[in-house]
Structure 1
Amino acid sequence: MNGSSNKSRDRYQVEPKLVNPRADQSALRLMAYLCDTYGKHMLTGQQIGVHSTPEMDILHRETGFYPAVGGFDFMDYSPGRVNQGGVSHDTDHALRWWEEGGIVTFCWHWTAPKDMIDLPNNKKWEKGFYTEATRFDLEEAMSDSSSEGYQLLVRDIDAIAVQLKRLQQAGVPVLWRPLHEASGRWFWWGAKGPKPFLALWNLLYDRLTNDHELNNLIWVWNGQHKDWYPGDETVDIIGEDIYPPKRDYTPQADRFDTALAYTNTNKIIALSENGILPDPDQMLAENVRWAWNCTWYGEFLYTRDEEGKLPYSEEYTEHFMLHKLYSHPFSITREQLPNLKTYRLP
């Protein structure tokens, strides 16, 4: 059998090990479960909104189930937003989600530490994670650890560490997906290319793991290009964010294969953001078995009618496909998850 066939056959065989040698039991139990189910099932997932959070209730109303994975965002904990009056409750939402039996994943739309630009019809800090909204120069900041820019990066990381510690203290493992979509360069952490991005990734990993001793994190890298891959030593899981055309239910096999090729080591591959739900039958037929999906919030799930009600929107994923995925034997919902607090250790 040739090498490519071997990779196809063995792609779902991943050892339940984490890059942090001090990973705590909560993270190890979750990784063991992910490795046990990888290739056999896909965990359903949903990101909640920023200013309103009806997504989970809408899914339950429409399907009778809750997603297995809840997606949250540290965006409004960024000091650049807090200093402007930003308030977030996502850590509280995540704590509740875990206690209700769900899995937690966090991203961080990190508002640049300084040098915001006013954009038309926008407070300058509200879109401060976008390259177009800031003059903050990551390359310059990372070139000098004594610079103001570098020290502000550390300040921001320390602020998010406070929230991650709340989760760690409550025994919550986190699928942690920072600095996402860097190769697209639409976020400031990717604007200056791979080198400063990789330096920032390593700073973030080192600061959270070694200085803050955060051992509940499973590190999900989502750079979306091989040149931006930090290396197997700091990446547990690889995520791809995919927004295909409306009602395109194909499993995105080319993107799965691209993600596999970022490293020669077998890593779990997740659909860490999606606009459209993939057809589970096509996933099985094409052997494209994402570990989990996480549908983005708002318009990808619902609309708002004249009475202020929130009907399901079929604009992106039709109702029949939503039902098909949530009731399919390949899919795992929150109701089907084991007790991850007591799941066997690897």
Structure 2
Amino acid sequence: MNDWSQRMKVEPKLINPQADDCARRLMAYLCDAYGKRMLTGQQIGVHATPEMDVIQRETGHYPAVGGFDFMNDSPSRTERGSVGTDTALALQWWRAGGIVTFCWHWNAPKDLVDQPPDNGWHRGFYTTATTFDIANAMDDPSSEEYALLLRDIDAISGLLAQLREAGVPVLWRPLHEASGGWFWWGAKGPEPCIRLWKLMYDRMTRLHGLHNLIWVWNGQHKDWYPGDAYVDIIGEDVYSPARNYQSNVDRFRQALSYTNAAKIIALSENGPLPDPDRMIEDGALWLWNCTWYGNFVHKQEERETVVSDQYTEREMLKKVYRHPFTVTRDELPDLIRYPLHHP
């Protein structure tokens, strides 16, 4: 356990030496909280977004972390008529006192299979729904495919720049779950995916000046780790069986094993909530959780959206949101003025 306790002491040093104060203040708070508290978190839906209000009605609290997605901002979706809404929603969330995390279900830039229902264009982030080849694209920087990767990164950078201008730090979790292979960015093994991660980091940081990002890597396997210089925080996505409130300590230990450096570990996606008492007992001290949207949280009853007991029962939801170990939005400090750590 001794080396564990050392690993829980993380210096609030971001990989980007030019990081904005807003990101440095958030990281300072996260490092102060790590190992002592877990921030509650919730992903919002794509078409309807009742999650936050359902949780607040049931528990009296909003989650500390709001999860958003640039899915509908992918150029191969917008050219087919989709409209991204999450940048504006994330800005509102930050202004209401919450922390913002973004993932990106990146629709492949081209070569969509477009065969509904399972492989329609709207499922173009899945390996089965596109013939786009990340290995070929990364091997040939003069190719159309490579140029389209840059186009897409630039499109999302424009939205992240809007958040930067508004002073919003973002827990940025791109290229998630790569080792699973079910998304096109993970379909050709670790090497091209790691190269894409580094390309995205360099382009977003150097070209676009996105110094408000805290980089959350969520590759889920040691072979896919791009290196300590490219990762601020490690996230694991864990979907336990329904109504199983285990701490997921095995996955916490797995995340610790990716590097010898002290990095914060977060439960970047979950189905059922982990029981805070079990987390403390097992030493699975995830810094935040982010429950996935839809029926993980709510269901329709007649004309009303209510809490669903399917994955996390009402009583456990209340327990988690009212537990002394967890942090809800109303308990967050003023992150705009949070003290910076000075070495």
Measured against the shorter chain, the TM-score band is over 0.9
* Map 1:119-134 → 2, pairs under 5 A: 119-121=115-117, 124-134=120-130
Q: What is aligned with 1:172?
A: 168
The alignment's TM-score, normalised by the length of structure 2, stands at 0.98
Q: What is aligned with 2:97?
A: 101
The alpha carbon displacement at 1:122 in A equals 5.3
Q: What is aligned with 2:197?
A: 201
> How far apart, in 2, do the equivalents of 1:121 and 1:144 lie?
33
What's the secondary structure of 1:233's corresponding residue? helix
* Map 1:287-302 → 2, pairs under 5 A: 287-302=283-298
Q: What is aligned with 1:310?
A: 305
Deviations 1:76-111 (A, max 9, x none): 110000000010110000000000000000000000
Structure 2 stretches lacking a partner, 5+ long = none
What's the secondary structure of 1:126's corresponding residue? helix
- Tell me the C-alpha RMSD between the 2 structures: 0.8
> How far apart, in 1, do the equivalents of 2:181 and 2:292 lie?
20
What's the secondary structure of 2:46's corresponding residue? coil
Q: What is aligned with 1:143?
A: 139
Instruction: Tell me if structure 1 keeps the 8 A contact 2:105–2:125.
Output: yes
> How far apart, in 2, do the equivalents of 1:300 and 1:161 lie?
30
What's the secondary structure of 1:304's corresponding residue? strand
The alpha carbon displacement at 1:161 in A equals 0.4
The alpha carbon displacement at 1:124 in A equals 2.7
* Map 1:10-159 → 2, pairs under 5 A: 10-121=6-117, 124-159=120-155
Q: What is aligned with 2:275?
A: 279
The alpha carbon displacement at 1:125 in A equals 1.5
Deviations 1:150-182 (A, max 9, x none): 000000000000100000000000000000000
> How far apart, in 2, do the equivalents of 1:93 and 1:189 lie?
27
User: Of the candidates 250, 259, 264, which is equivalent to residue 246 of structure 2?
Assistant: 250
1:231 aligns with 2:227: yes
The alpha carbon displacement at 1:283 in A equals 0.6
Please list every run of at least 4 consecutive aligned residues from structure 1 whose deviation after the TM superposition is greater than 3 angstroms: none
User: Of the candidates 329, 332, 340, which is equivalent to residue 337 of structure 1?
Assistant: 332
Instruction: For 2:225, give the aligned amino acid.
Output: Y
Deviates more, 1:307-316 or 1:157-166: 307-316
Q: What is aligned with 1:320?
A: 315
> How far apart, in 2, do the equivalents of 1:51 and 1:202 lie?
32
Instruction: Tell me if structure 1 keeps the 8 A contact 2:115–2:121.
Output: no
The alpha carbon displacement at 1:118 in A equals 2.4
> How far apart, in 2, do the equivalents of 1:308 and 1:269 lie?
39
Q: What is aligned with 1:218?
A: 214
Q: What is aligned with 1:264?
A: 260
What's the secondary structure of 2:315's corresponding residue? helix
Instruction: For 2:317, give the aligned amino acid.
Output: L
> How far apart, in 2, do the equivalents of 1:118 and 1:110 lie?
15
Structure 1 stretches lacking a partner, 5+ long = none
What's the secondary structure of 2:229's corresponding residue? coil
Instruction: Tell me if structure 1 keeps the 8 A contact 2:119–2:129.
Output: no
> How far apart, in 2, do the equivalents of 1:78 and 1:311 lie?
31
> How far apart, in 2, do the equivalents of 1:124 and 1:315 lie?
28
The alignment's TM-score, normalised by the length of structure 1, stands at 0.97
The alpha carbon displacement at 1:11 in A equals 2.3
Instruction: For 1:140, give the aligned amino acid.
Output: N
The alpha carbon displacement at 1:121 in A equals 2.0
> How far apart, in 1, do the equivalents of 2:5 and 2:97 lie?
32
What's the secondary structure of 2:128's corresponding residue? helix
The alpha carbon displacement at 1:231 in A equals 0.2
Instruction: For 1:337, give the aligned amino acid.
Output: L
